[in-house]
Structure 1
């Protein structure tokens, strides 16, 4: 009896390097020579930062070497091009830790999409400074960690979160309406590995009560912004944004309720982009493939 042919395995290859002539040719030639069958390819050279970014997917059905062997060859090319790269299976699921306070709308959408298979992540736990979301989280069979916080205990509480992040092998911390400002030390420790949702279309209306700020200015659209966390409040590189039209009849409280959908959708989209290896940091901005 003839064995059934093995289905090809897809791999995700992403890289960045200083822009110069011939980068794509060198990378593509190496993949071609080793039989990496490319099925997706996106690239961008930023003329301002002089940085080249690329995201490629290939399968191994005619690969002439092992993936580890290909990685070794890429290491040599990376030295030549001053390149940083990642090579992983395309179906890899990054481990994610979620932080939340009392509002559960963003958390709920993340959990729903995760359960439905629309978010290719492994949620290793949910941490909160309140107990309000415990029943929701545990209904999904996910560990819930209650870490209360006061002004005096903030350093110890953040140390608990970082220890949980490291101990679970998490690769991303998602602040799903976690109503605490991370310290500069924690922001630096999680540089490029923490995403926040701000209930405003940044860079407008930063800080507290953005819907009330927007109401005072009579805006005609309200929005939400998912961005990387930095030590500068609400200034991190923007990943995804959503807006909703409104008019003069909306109160600030109306805007809060309407904005919940935008917040949840923008955050879920940002987590999806991260999980699929589509986000590249580019100074204060991002490149999204």
Structure 2
């Protein structure tokens, strides 16, 4: 997946005539070759414009500052928000987990196979149960017990400071404080079952079984101060029947959680996700 001298450019602005031509002209002046391009407008009139470009730029690392100055001039003209990402540099991630291992092990396995363009800096857990499983992947495991929540989160912040590009909550059964979300300074991706808000709390699959649900699913989203209300990245569902037990529902639900989280993490690593207020655009 990693390609030298490759960059990803994300652009957001009010839709207006001439954007695509201006971007293409600026990139041509900078000697950048467009490898792929995806774009979306929310409305033909008075809409918002989103664009993702994958570029080949010779000697990108050495030329990056000059290239960014050219993009900044273009952005000023069109009122753009933009970001530029090095396609040859895997994103650094910390995975937070408690005792459920299905999402964690799936991410570690996919990373080991080269399916996810990221480096797992460490796995952080409030329980020691999964240490042996994580070390099988040659990934550091850090146990920071829960109890004194401010002390726990301070230890986590000190551990991760300037070392990660994003965090994944792979069934981390602790609520992040507003202070943590603000201070950590990187995106946080969370995964949970899609019963919310109907079955909040413990044993959601047993209560879903008791209510006779016909669909189970999962949602991956960015965490905000309102933990389960951040911008949604990906969702999926599976149809179930009355004949399946609560354990069957949980097993199938965990399968959906694995796939949904893997897709969300992959899209984030590939810089395909643009946050638009409370929503996202995936390009």
What TM-score, normalized by structure 2, do the two folds share? 0.90
Q: 1:80 matched to which residue of 2?
A: 77
1:81, CA displacement in angstroms?
2.2
1:287, CA displacement in angstroms?
0.4
Specify every segment of 5 or more residues in structure 1 that has no aligned partner in the other structure, as ranges: 1-6
Q: Contact 2:161 / 2:184 at 8 angstroms: preserved in 1?
A: no
Of 69, 79, 87, the residue aligned with 2:66 is 69
Query: Using the alignment, how far apart are the partners of 1:74 and 1:62 within structure 2?
Result: 17
Matched ranges for 1:69-218 at <5 A:
69-150=66-147, 153-167=148-162, 169-190=163-184, 193-200=187-194, 205-218=199-212
* Matched residue SS, 1:234: helix
Provide, for residues 80-117 of structure 1, a one-character-per-residue CA deviation record: whole Å limited to 9, x for no partner. Answer: 22222222332321110000001111000000000000
Q: 1:60 matched to which residue of 2?
A: 57
What TM-score, normalized by structure 1, do the two folds share? 0.88
Specify every segment of 5 or more residues in structure 2 that has no aligned partner in the other structure, as ranges: none
Q: 1:256 matched to which residue of 2?
A: 250
Q: Contact 2:195 / 2:204 at 8 angstroms: preserved in 1?
A: no
Provide, for residues 205-258 of structure 1, a one-character-per-residue CA deviation record: whole Å limited to 9, x for no partner. Answer: 455443234323322221111111112242111111122221011222221122
Distance 1:88-1:230 versus aligned 2 partners, 3 A rule: closer
Distance 1:43-1:205 versus aligned 2 partners, 3 A rule: farther
Query: Using the alignment, how far apart are the partners of 2:46 and 2:94 within structure 1?
Result: 32
Distance 1:27-1:206 versus aligned 2 partners, 3 A rule: farther
Q: 2:271 matched to which residue of 1?
A: 277
Of 29, 54, 62, the residue aligned with 2:25 is 29
Give RMSD over aligned pairs: 2.4
Q: How many residues align?
A: 279
Distance 1:203-1:74 versus aligned 2 partners, 3 A rule: farther
